[in-house]
Amino acid sequence: MTDITPMPNNAENYYRKAINALENNQFNKAIHYLENSYNLESNPLVFTELVKLYIAFNKQEQLTKLWEQDQFTLDFISQSAELTSLYAQSLPIMSPTSESLNKLYQLRDSIQSSTATTELNKAITTISDLLNVKQEINALTTDERVETYAQQLLEKSYFEVLSKLKLVYQTDLDKNLPLLKALLNDENLLNFIKNDILHYIIINGESLDIDYTWLNVEKHIQTDQLKPYTSTQFYLKGTRIIEDYFSQTDPHFAKQVLELFNLHAMVFYPFYDDGIADPQKWLNYTLLQFGLENDMIDILTEQEKEYYQLAQDELAQLFQA
């Protein structure tokens, strides 16, 4: 963080609370404190931190409100490389339209910073890609077109599929839902990707009653009975025991293990009881794999080890070059 500029006491206190929350990965608290600070004093430092968090968590409405303040004209933004970069990252979230593209081109023509130009070019590419995907989704007016588009998408690498889905999610739900259903029905698509689709559907409140191939096992799912994986008991217990374990040992590996647990939790979702029901056993086995422990009790059964390896295989396929 840069040096804190002078602020009224209350605004400064909120800012310091926000920084403390960020250091502890309490992002919602950090946003709350930064918003309180900025409401008391329109400090540029607080503005920057808020924009970064809004971008990270895709908060369209809040981003738009910040940038709609009178002082943020294109001329004003173009005078600062940092503001230009932040605006370039914000605009695809706020308003992915042809008008937004024109704004980015205008900014690019009026600045000299190579760093800001890089961000502008990224934003231009993002918005252009999204506009193209919107046109593609709007053209899926028959079952045959949906099936053809789904098959063409599935011919790409898994990472490309997931990247394309991030754009599809930004189109209208009533237009993209037939495609998402077709992808969920594919037996060979990675569980991780199908569960990413499920989360999009759940978060948007759409109710689906579907057959579902979960790690090669036929299942049935009703999305209105599901909640995001981060709200499940498996996930909440798992993150707690991982944090507790590393608070007593070497915190160096905590982030790495938490990241792996997050990825496995997405692969196993939503049938944790049928895979690895106890996150403590998952942690014990992972510690053995990492060489952080040599003698652990309650490690996985042979069947659970197979599920653990299935998760590892999925992640290897997803992130391979």
How does pLDDT run across 214-228, given as a tens digit for each residue?
Answer: 998 999 999 999 999
Buried b (16+ CB within 10 A) or exposed e, 153-177: beeeebeebbeebebbbbbeeeebb
Q: How confident is the model over 284-310, as pLDDT tens digits?
A: 999 999 888 887 776 899 999 999 999
Angle subtended by helix axes 279-290 and 302-319, to nearest 10? 70
In the predicted model, what is the mean pLDDT of the chain? 89
Say which range, 204-208, 252-256, 261-265, 300-304, has the weakest mean pLDDT.
252-256
Of 16, 13, 26, nearest to 53 by C-alpha is 26
Query: pLDDT band at residue 9, thresholds of 50, 70 and 90?
Result: low
Q: How confident is the model over 117-156, as pLDDT tens digits?
A: 888 888 899 889 989 999 999 999 999 999 999 999 999 9
Cβ pair 317, 190 in contact under 8 A: yes
Integer CA distances (angstroms), 288 to 243, 281, 307, in order: 17, 11, 16
**φ, ψ at 59 (rounded to 5°):** -90, 90
Percent pLDDT > 70 in the chain is 96
Question: Measured between alpha carbons, how far is 190 from 264 in angstroms, rounded to an integer?
Answer: 12
Cβ pair 243, 254 in contact under 8 A: yes
Q: How confident is the model over 66-95, as pLDDT tens digits?
A: 999 988 988 888 888 889 889 988 888 888
Say which range, 150-159, 240-249, 260-269, has the weakest mean pLDDT.
240-249
Mean pLDDT of 188-205: 94
Instruction: Say which amino acid occupies 172.
Output: D
Mean pLDDT of 164-180: 93
